[in-house]
């Protein structure tokens, strides 16, 4: 508040009060210091704040969203997150699967990121080669969307395309078709958890044809089943 202490020459709104009548997003809540967690718990329970120098608390109307870098229940067990704060936040839980668990989305995400990326001096993005497509579908992407975004930027600047173009030129049509077929089979099996019946319906091929292709590419449906 104005005049709350020496040097307080104007009234300042904190981040929580600024979110009044809107949404407050707590990013990486599992890294929040315990001293701040106590204050945040009061905000969530009482829906009010006490600005420095204010004569009375002020009510805030908030929708609260929180993200975590890992399992919050484990953070509670380790003492990094207060249990009461965890239960206050854990009303509705949404899990965002990492890119390695939704590989079918990667090409679309890459195309979107590439469209917004800054291109090289000629103003034209490099051609997406088979090598790049293979990397998109096979890389583990531990950094998820941030890592994919950086890769799209490097590709747009021409820093990821030269090696891929060389590999593509060296590959014959049969090899490139086989690689593409193998990727389709892997993506389908992974998306469907190795379920053969669903895979047959999805790919619309006879059972014997599917098993012949799986054997040719060294793919085992059991390795894609979710436990």
Averages of pLDDT over each 10 residues, the chain, 227 residues: 78 88 93 93 90 86 90 91 93 88 88 83 73 84 91 84 49 74 84 88 91 91 79
Q: Is residue 10 part of a domain?
A: no
Does the residue 150 lie in any domain?
yes
Q: Give yes or no: residues 24 and 51 share one domain.
A: yes
Claim to verify: residue 85 and residue 34 sit in the same structural domain: yes
Per the domain annotation, does 94 fall within a domain?
no
Domain annotation covers residue 181: yes
The verdict on 20 and 85 lying in the same domain is yes
As a three-state string, the secondary structure of the chain is CCCCCCCCCCCCCCHHHHCCCEEEEECCHHHCCHHHHHHHHHHHHHCEECCCCCCCCEECCEEEEECCCCCHHHHHHCCCCCHHHHHHHCCCCCCCCCHHHCHHHHHHHHHHHHHHCCCCCCCCCCCCCHHHHHHHHHCCCCCHHHHHHHHHHHHHCCCCCHHHHHHHHHCCHHHHHHHHHHHHHHHHHHHCCCCHHHHHHHHCCCHHHHHHHHHHCCCCHHHHCCC
Q: What is the pLDDT of residue 166?
A: 46
- Whether residues 128 and 193 share a domain: the answer is no
| Residue 193 covered by a domain | yes
Q: Looking at 31, 56, 89, which one is the last position of a domain?
A: 89
The pTM assigned to this predicted structure is: 0.55
pLDDT of residue 170: 54
Same-domain status, 53 and 74: yes
Per-residue model confidence (pLDDT) at position 227: 59
Q: At 35, which CATH number?
A: 3.40.50.300
Instruction: Classify residue 95: in a domain, yes or no.
Output: no
Range of the domain at 201: 172-227
Output the domain CATH number for residue 118. Answer: 1.10.8
pLDDT of residue 104: 84
């Amino acid at each position: 508040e104005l005049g709350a202490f020496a040097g307080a020459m104007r009234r300042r709104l904190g981040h929580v009060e600024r979110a009044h009548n809107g949404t407050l997003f707590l990013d990486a809540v599992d890294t929040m210091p315990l001293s701040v967690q106590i204050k945040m718990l009061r905000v969530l329970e009482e829906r009010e704040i006490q600005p420095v120098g204010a004569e009375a608390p002020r009510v805030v109307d908030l929708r609260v969203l929180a993200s975590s870098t890992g399992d919050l229940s484990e953070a509670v067990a380790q003492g990094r997150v207060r249990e009461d704060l965890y239960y206050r936040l854990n009303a509705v839980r949404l899990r965002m699967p990492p890119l390695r668990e939704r590989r079918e989305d990667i090409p679309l995400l890459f195309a979107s990121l590439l469209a917004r990326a800054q291109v090289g001096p000629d103003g034209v993005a490099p051609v997406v080669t088979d090598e790049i497509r293979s990397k998109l579908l096979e890389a583990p992407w531990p950094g998820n969307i941030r890592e994919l975004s950086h890769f799209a930027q490097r590709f747009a600047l021409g820093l990821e395309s030269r090696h891929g173009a060389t590999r593509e030129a060296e590959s014959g049509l049969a090899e490139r078709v086989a690689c593409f077929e193998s990727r389709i089979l892997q993506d389908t099996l992974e998306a469907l958890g190795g379920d053969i019946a669903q895979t047959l319906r999805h790919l619309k091929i006879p059972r014997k044809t599917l098993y012949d292709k799986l054997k040719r590419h060294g793919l085992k449906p059991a390795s894609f089943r979710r436990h």
